[in-house]
Amino acid sequence: MTLTTFALVRHGQTDWNAERRLQGSTDIPLNDIGRSQAREVIAVLSKYEWDVIVSSPLGRAAETADIIATGLGQTVDRRIPELTERAFGPAEGLQDGPDLDALRIPGGFRGAESEEDAGFRGLAALEALASEFSGQRILVIAHGTLLRASLDRAVGLDLPSIENAAFNLAHYDSAEGWQLEYFNGERVMTTV
């Protein structure tokens, strides 16, 4: 059994997060709180050695990854387009209310990428990393919906939202599948 370990970290806060707007693939930058959150999660991540650091290419994830990597004395190895947040189409930038409700359809929003498609895209990207870096520790900085939807498919659960800059730890083995150890900084299982 070859176990590959993943830390899956959502980017720090943006102004749209604070305003509870759907961001999706719109490239919104971190705010000062988000930068602070990225610096704070370094303390948890520094308890492990990371062989590879990757992120989404969107600015909020890329900046979070750069802050974390610098704090760990490392560099980001790669920006992976498949780790970009779920595209919410015309719903991006909207808050809960009549305009957003008008776009709702079963399973998502009209003109948006489905959560199922985003989850499968994200999970495929993670499993490709596990194949390329088998047995190593991979730090991934990406987006809340993409990471949650990917983990939902990986472990067969319906997980709640992932918090900004929260520590999530999962393990992958090609024969045994996925196991989730930490979710939003809380232990959810015993160590594999």
User: For the domain 4-187, what is the CATH code?
Assistant: 3.40.50.1240
Q: What digits encode the pLDDT tens for the residues 58-104?
A: 999 999 999 999 999 999 999 999 999 999 999 999 999 999 999 99
pLDDT at residue 191 in the model: 42
* Binding residue positions: 10-17, 60
pLDDT at 141: 98
pTM: 0.96
Catalytically annotated residues:
11, 85
Distance, in Å, from the CA atom of 34 to the CA atom of 181, rounded to the nearest integer, reads 24
Mean pLDDT per 10-residue segment, the chain (192 residues) = 94 98 97 98 98 98 98 98 98 97 94 96 98 98 98 95 98 95 89 40
List the chain domain ranges. 4-187
**In this structure, are residues 91 and 114 in contact, taking their beta carbons and an 8 Å threshold?**
no
* pLDDT at residue 82, rounded to an integer: 98
Annotated binding-site ranges for substrate: 10-17, 60
